[in-house]
Amino acid sequence: MGVTEGLGLLLATGASDCERVGDGLLAQPVNTLSALAYIVIGVWIGARFPTWAARVFGLLVVLVGIGSVAYHGWEGGGVEFVHDAAFSGALLFIAGFELVHSRLAGGRFPIERRSVG
């Protein structure tokens, strides 16, 4: 197999998504359906942990799921922006949350020692 054929095969299999883009109802059915888990987990996080941070994070995880379902299910129409913005928002929230809590802990994370057994 030559370089051109190899590159064509790589692009045809959805190089960064690990699933070939099809021409059916969903562009990438496995990625699309597995992205629904983000929505379920985001709702669970928001319902299970009643703090403001957990609810914000749960909402962001739901948005990641919606963006991922849209991105892997249908192409075009700005879905790539929604996918990337939601994912970036969740990462920034995690980084900001950890930075604030690190600062509140005197610039370091407190380590709790517990005996096992």
pLDDT of residue 10 exceeding 50, the answer is no
When pLDDT is cut at 50, 70 and 90, the band that residue 17 belongs to is low
pLDDT digits 0-9 by tens, 21-38: 666 667 777 888 888 999
Domain ranges across the chain: 50-109
At residue 77, the pLDDT reads 78
At residue 116, the pLDDT reads 55
**CB contact at 8 A, 72 and 26:** yes
At residue 2, the pLDDT reads 55
At residue 13, the pLDDT reads 46
Stronger pLDDT, 91 or 19, i.e. the higher one: 91
Mean pLDDT computed over 89-96: 91
**CB contact at 8 A, 86 and 64:** yes
Which of 61, 62, 63, 83 lies closest to 71 in space, CA to CA? 83
At residue 14, the pLDDT reads 46
36 to 16, 58, 111: CA distances (angstroms): 19, 14, 35
In whole numbers, what is the pLDDT of the chain averaged over residues? 77
pLDDT digits 0-9 by tens, 39-53: 999 999 999 998 888
